[in-house]
């Protein structure tokens, strides 16, 4: 058992009969009343996100989660195949376990997979990845009616919003948390 002082981003809690990972937390000490911890937690199996508040000092149950480095090898139908970079064992994860990370993964890319009792829970990517734009409409000079952005499809098939001046074949940095455009990458 742990207390609310142990809550940090990435900690996995065992509550309501499931495993929940902490996405955000905030310790709050109001001027009146007792302190508390406001959290946003995500169910590692279903992906459901909920807000949860704990009184300061309350006991919580944490779970041990091992994080291992894997290399994404290929997609096999609806499943994704990864290889452990330390012992070269291969594991197959369902599309549900991979989640939104599939939008940003390229073959042979290194990722971190969280394991609980040797069962894969979810895939963690770096904060940003570099992807190439495979399709986008040409931007018209002076067209600012859409706020200066246009849709573009990157090499994983995911669609992001990019500035009008970017063209097909340009390499861009993409935020893996929300799919936002971070900038152009010059090779």
Domains and CATH numbers, the chain: 2-63 (2.30.30.30), 66-124 (2.40.50.140), 128-184 (2.40.50.140)
Contact by Cβ (8 Å): 1, 61: yes
Residue 158 token pair: 């995911």
User: What confidence score (pLDDT) does residue 142 get?
Assistant: 60
Residue 78 token pair: 């609806």
Residue 75 Cα to chain centre, angstroms: 18
Q: How far apart, in whole angstroms, are the C-alpha atoms of residue 41 and residue 16? A: 12
User: What confidence score (pLDDT) does residue 80 get?
Assistant: 92
User: What confidence score (pLDDT) does residue 145 get?
Assistant: 54
Taking Cα atoms as reference points, which of 7, 125, 109, 148 lies closest to residue 67? Answer: 125
DSSP state of 140: P
Contact by Cβ (8 Å): 47, 14: no
User: What confidence score (pLDDT) does residue 172 get?
Assistant: 92
User: What confidence score (pLDDT) does residue 149 get?
Assistant: 81
List CB contacts of 76: < 8 A, sequence separation 6 or more.
Answer: 92
pTM of the model: 0.72
Cβ count within 10 A of residue 40: 15
User: What confidence score (pLDDT) does residue 53 get?
Assistant: 92
User: What confidence score (pLDDT) does residue 73 get?
Assistant: 93
Per-residue pLDDT in tens (0 to 9) along the chain, 187 residues:
788 888 888 888 988 888 888 889 999 898 888 899 999 998 887 778 899 999 988 899 988 888 899 999 999 888 999 999 999 899 998 887 888 888 999 899 999 988 888 888 888 888 889 999 999 888 666 655 556 788 899 999 999 988 888 888 889 999 988 888 898 888 6
User: What confidence score (pLDDT) does residue 147 get?
Assistant: 62
pLDDT digits (tens, 9 = 90+) for 46-99: 778 899 999 988 899 988 888 899 999 999 888 999 999 999 899 998 887 888
């Amino acid at each position: 058992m742990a207390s609310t002082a142990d809550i940090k981003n990435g900690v996995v809690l065992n509550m309501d009969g499931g495993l929940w990972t902490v996405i955000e937390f905030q310790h709050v000490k109001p001027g009146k009343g007792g302190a508390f911890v406001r959290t946003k937690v995500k169910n590692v199996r279903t992906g459901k996100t909920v807000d949860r508040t704990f009184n300061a000092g309350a006991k919580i149950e944490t779970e041990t989660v091992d994080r291992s480095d894997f290399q994404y090898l290929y997609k096999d139908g609806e499943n994704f195949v990864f290889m452990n970079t330390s012992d070269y064992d291969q594991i197959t994860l369902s599309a549900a376990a991979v989640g939104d990370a599939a939008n940003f993964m390229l073959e042979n890319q290194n990722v971190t997979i969280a394991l609980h009792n040797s069962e894969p829970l979810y895939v963690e990517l770096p904060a940003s990845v570099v992807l190439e734009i495979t399709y986008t409409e040409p931007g018209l000079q002076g067209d600012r009616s859409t706020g200066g952005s246009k849709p573009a499809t990157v090499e994983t098939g995911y669609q992001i919003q990019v500035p009008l001046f970017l063209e097909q074949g340009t390499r861009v940095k993409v935020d893996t948390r929300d799919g936002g455009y971070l900038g152009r990458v010059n090779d």
